[in-house]
Amino acid sequence: MKIIYILFIFLSINLFSQETYDLEYYFGEDYKNFNEDIPKPSDFLLNGKEVGSSHVSHDRLIQYMYALANASKRIDIQNRGFSYEGRPLVLLTITSEENHDNLIKFKRNHVDYIDGKSDNKSSNFYSRPVVIYQGYSIHGNEPSGSNAAMLYAYYLASSNSDDVKNQLKNSIILLDPSLNPDGLQRFANWVNTNKSQNLNSDSNDREFNEHWPRGRTNHYWFDMNRDWLPAQLPESKVRIKTFQDWYPNVLTDHHEMGTNSTFFYQPGIPSRVNPLTPKKNQELTAKIGKYHESILSKNGSFFYSEEDYDDFYYGKGSTYPDINGGIGILFEQGSSRGHLQESINGNISFPFTIKNQLLTSISTLEASVDLKKELFDYQREFFNSNKHNRNEYLIVGDQHDRSKLYHFHEILKTHNIITKKLDEDKIVNGIKFKKNNSFLIPKDQRNSRLLNAMIDNQTSFKDSLFYDVSAWSFLHSFNLEHSYIKSNEKFNEFIFSKPVGSIISKSDYAYVFRWNDYYSPKALYKLLSHGLNIKVSTDKFSIENNNFSYGSILVPVSNQSKSINEINNIIEEISNETGVNFYGFNTSKTNGIDLGSNDFKKINLPKIGLIVGDGVSSYDAGEIWHLMDTRYEIPITKLKYNSLSKIDLSKYTTLIFVNGSYLNKNTVEKLKNWVKNGGNLIGFRNATKWLDSNDFIKLDFIENTAVPKDVKFIDKNKFYGAQLTSGAIFNVKLDLSHPVNYGYYKEDLSIFRNTNIYLKNDKLSFNNPIKYSKENSLVSGYISKLNYKSILNSRPFVSSRLNKGRVSVFTDNTNFRAFWYGTNKLMINAIFFGKLM
């Protein structure tokens, strides 16, 4: 009997693994009436099998989308750019053939109606097509979305049903089949390579357990579903441009979640909706949800809403539309994470996950067409009910760092936010704004709500739990001076060209440049890479009416390995490229430390190793890789933590340990000896605890243990969740004379924190070069009362000598999501000036 039972189980698994999924599985009998001239997805998949039999690679996905566009007059396709790995970022515009002939007019009219230039009582207001943006698999290892996009595009191109024809007549669908091409390709390679012919659903199988850094992220390991506001990645920039060109009424964002989950659609948790989102937005989200409920129920799929996920941070695909007059909808499908995997709900197959994504794509289209009158009214009201006084402006500037200000302006431009030129220097509320280093942002403009969302400071919340960060103000992430003014003047459009530096007086003696510009580190590295002898000032000085602060860089022209002409040519090229100004002088004599003083310290070319691999936060590591590679152009070697025992560490001057769990004890002594012999080790967030426990540095932690009182069992997760500091902004005070703070010109700095690691202030004040403000430390975001008490007595940075070497730690993330420009220099200073600390 036992043998028969085992045989039965084997046959059941084998039969299930060989089950075929054809078009009838996905579309029912309807597919038999599809246009036979339209190519099927199976024509472009491995071995001619149907969608779901394997994971589509990005190249085959794109080939199919182009084939559809060539075969169907309902589809137009365009390539809007390329990912970091050179993959095309395509967009399909799908509508009726007649609508395609009038797309330019529809787009212009759509925006005119938003701006109130056309009367909503006219017949054209409601007869125009509703605009829907449907995007898939922004997390590459959540592939059911992109695979469903093939079927959905095929359905829209080939269906002959009257319902679909009517929907295409009344809609313009912007279909983005792969929001993360590089991640999708990485994951498809993994699962297809590890797939068995006879599918194995055991969750321990290699197929379901990707190697680090996994396919979720893009090339530089960013979670691109957090970049809708920061807009730092090429994939994000093109999709935001599409959004701002069209202002879609509905946007869908197709994801996956844990294998033991079912299917989620929005609305999310009601108490966690951003207060800037109108109530009507959530009402329409719920109405659209009824269509998902209906189609999923008919399919026998289990689902839920109003749990787990929120609508607070506007940098996600499902929330960005909410602050732009649209309805953003998140879908989360329980993931097979391969082809067939066991779960508490039974085996979950890849085709099943694809079908749910396909069905909710179809229900979104149906709902959007049926509800378009309400969607149009809502969008019109959203933009027209937020009028400001035409004379109100936000003024922003940075008189010491034009490059950083330029990058802030580029983000505003990406989000279609209008800026105006400042005609003269102004002093507003005691703050100096120079006309060449400042600009105005009118409060009265179409995207004023979006602007408010980008700069908002909030410290009071209905809920103490957050799915993502609770604060993200760009004024603070860029550390910009800002204020508000009223003016009746008419200001011209502000055009901000990328800063270009220059040589202020050529010299055959010495050059000096300030460390305050964002790209000063890039200039320094390029000089060092030319083999030049470079020094840094450890004190202030002035020369020929030019003031130079701590951290100014000295480039002697004499006693170098290159000729005077060569050095001048190098400096001119670097200045033009980086936007950094070089000042030439013909004497060492200054008011302050002279150029020949011993208070100028020699700087060596850094050789940097970044620790990566299992246990390491790929997000944090990727942020540093991206910063060094794409902005500063400083080479950085990615070293696998588990391979350190085999690597010659003497090649590196600096090693960086980001947030992670470092368990390998075999490398501790080797690393410690490397530091003792002069190495510069930098640790972030949880790495601080590992460095302390292994005696690299002695740290005094403030331990917080919240004790629940009168908390019910059902609320225990909420209680502990409320103790997390998942992302808030704090004000710190800087000792400007300390090397970690070189390049900063004011004592106040906004810093981002997303940990509960607190280091006690040292009794010796000079060992606290960065410390949290005692008053009004919380700038924006949520922190529990207990943790706030701790932060007031803590410091986010500690540096300590270990024999000839240096260990420096940061409790906070100085490079958060590539848009925290204001604190990038803290880490750079720890790299270049570690030995001076």
Query: What are the residue ranges in the chain where pLDDT is below 70?
Result: 1-20, 119-123
752, containing H or E segment? strand 748-753
When computed from its CA atoms, the radius of gyration of the chain, rounded to whole angstroms, is: 29
Q: Name the 3-class secondary structure at 112.
A: helix
Helices (H) and strands (E) in the chain, counts: 24, 36
197 φ/ψ angles, rounded to the nearest 5 degrees = -60, -40
Structure tokens at 696: 């690299």
Q: Can you tell me the distance from the alpha carbon of 202 to that of 179, in angstroms, rounded to the nearest whole number?
A: 30
Virtual torsion, Cα 492, 498, 502, 504, nearest 10 deg: 40
Beta-ladder partners of 171: 130
- Listed in order, strand segments (DSSP E) in 566-631 are 582-585, 591-592, 600-603, 608-612
**Left (φ > 0), alpha (ψ -120 to 50) or beta: where does 463 sit?**
beta
The closest of 523, 521, 645 to 572, measured between CA atoms, is: 523
Cβ-based neighbours of 460, under 8 Å, separated by 6 or more: none
* Residue type present at position 294: S
DSSP sequence for 393-447: EEEEE-TT-HHHHHHHHHHHHHTT---EE--S-EEETTEEE-GGGEEEEESSSTT
SS3 240: helix
Which amino acid is residue 80, in one-letter code?
R
As a whole number of angstroms, the distance between CA 152 and CA 174 comes to 12
CA–CA distance, 670 with 689 (Å, rounded to integer) = 18
Strand bridging mode 582-585 / 503-504: parallel
Cis check for the bond before 213: say yes or no (omega within 30 of 0). yes
CB 76 within 8 A of CB 156: no
pLDDT score at 4? 40
Q: How far apart are CA 476 and CA 749, in angstroms?
A: 8
**Do residues 90 and 108 lie in contact, with contact meaning Cβ atoms separated by under 8 Å?**
no
Whole-number Å distance between alpha carbons of 242 and 237:
9
Residue-wise pLDDT for 714-749, tens only, equals 888 888 888 889 899 999 999 999 999 999 999 999
Contacts of 436 (CB under 8 A, 6+ apart): 402
Query: Residue 76 is encoded by which pair of tokens?
Result: 């137009």
User: What structural domains and CATH numbers belong to the chain?
Assistant: 17-384 (3.40.630.10), 392-486 (no CATH), 503-603 (3.30.70), 608-836 (3.40.50.880)
Closest CA to 378 of 114, 106, 107: 114
Phi and psi torsions of 47, nearest 5°: 60, 20
End-to-end alpha carbon distance in the chain: 75
Is residue 147 within a helix (H) or strand (E), and if so which, with residue range?
helix 144-158
* Spatial contact of 280 and 348, defined as CB atoms under 8 Å apart: no
Percent of the chain with pLDDT over 90: 88
Structure tokens that stand for 643 in this block: 């391979």
As a whole number of angstroms, the distance between CA 410 and CA 416 comes to 10
Q: Count how many residues are written for the chain.
A: 837
Helix, strand, coil fractions of the chain, as percent rounded to 5: 40, 20, 40
Say which DSSP state 641 is in. G
Query: Per the structure block, which two tokens stand in for 668?
Result: 């501790």
Cα→Cα distances 643→238, 640, 648, 666, Å: 38, 5, 10, 10
Q: How far apart are CA 104 and CA 110, in angstroms?
A: 10
Is the CB of residue 683 less than 8 Å from the CB of residue 809? yes
pLDDT of residue 252: 99
Q: What is the pTM of this model?
A: 0.95
Which one-letter DSSP state was computed for residue 181?
Answer: H
Contact 366, 287 (CB under 8 A): no
Burial of 493 (0-12, 13-18, 19+ CB in 10 A): exposed
Give the helix/strand (H/E) hosting 810. strand 805-810
Q: pLDDT tens digits for 478-502? A: 999 999 999 999 999 999 999 999 9
Tokens of 742: 């070189």
What is the three-class DSSP state of 372? Answer: helix
Q: How far apart are CA 419 and CA 492, in angstroms?
A: 9
Burial of 791 (0-12, 13-18, 19+ CB in 10 A): buried
Instruction: Give the integer Cα–Cα distance in Å for 297 and 270.
Output: 23
In sign, the C-alpha dihedral spanning 159, 160, 164, 166 is positive
| pLDDT tens track for 784-824 | 999 999 999 999 999 999 999 999 999 999 999 999 999 99
3-state class of 334 per DSSP?
strand
Q: How far apart are CA 551 and CA 521, in angstroms?
A: 11
Residue 535 has which token pair?
């020094």
- Contact between residue 349 and residue 50 where contact means Cβ atoms under 8 Å apart: no
Cβ pair 335, 142 in contact under 8 A: yes
Strand partners, 537: 600
Average model confidence (pLDDT) across the chain: 94
Write out the H or E segment, with its range, that includes residue 85: none
Are 89 and 230 a contacting pair, CB within 8 Å? no
Give CA–CA dist 55/338, Å, rounded: 8
| CA gap 1, 7 in Å, rounded | 10
Give Dmax (Cα) for the chain.
Answer: 99
CA torsion through residues 96, 100, 106, 111, sign: positive
Q: How many CA atoms lie within 13 A of 340 on its CB side?
A: 19
Tokens (6 digits) for 398: 């940075």
Number of CB atoms found within 10 A of residue 49's CB: 14
Please give the angle made by the CA atoms of 657, 740 and 704, to the nearest 5 degrees.
60
From the CB of residue 586, how many other CB atoms can be counted at a distance below 10 Å?
12
Token duo for residue 614: 């299992």
Q: Give yes or no for a contact between 453 and 274, defined as CB atoms under 8 angstroms apart.
A: yes
Query: Rounded to an integer, what distance in angstroms lies between the CA atom of residue 254 and that of residue 136?
Result: 5
Phi, psi (rounded to 5 degrees) for 716: -65, -40
Is 643:773 a contact under the CB 8 Å cutoff?
no
pLDDT computed for residue 19 by the predictor: 58
User: What's residue 9's pLDDT?
Assistant: 39
- Answer whether 550's CB lies under 8 Å from 769's CB: no
What pLDDT was estimated at residue 5? Answer: 39
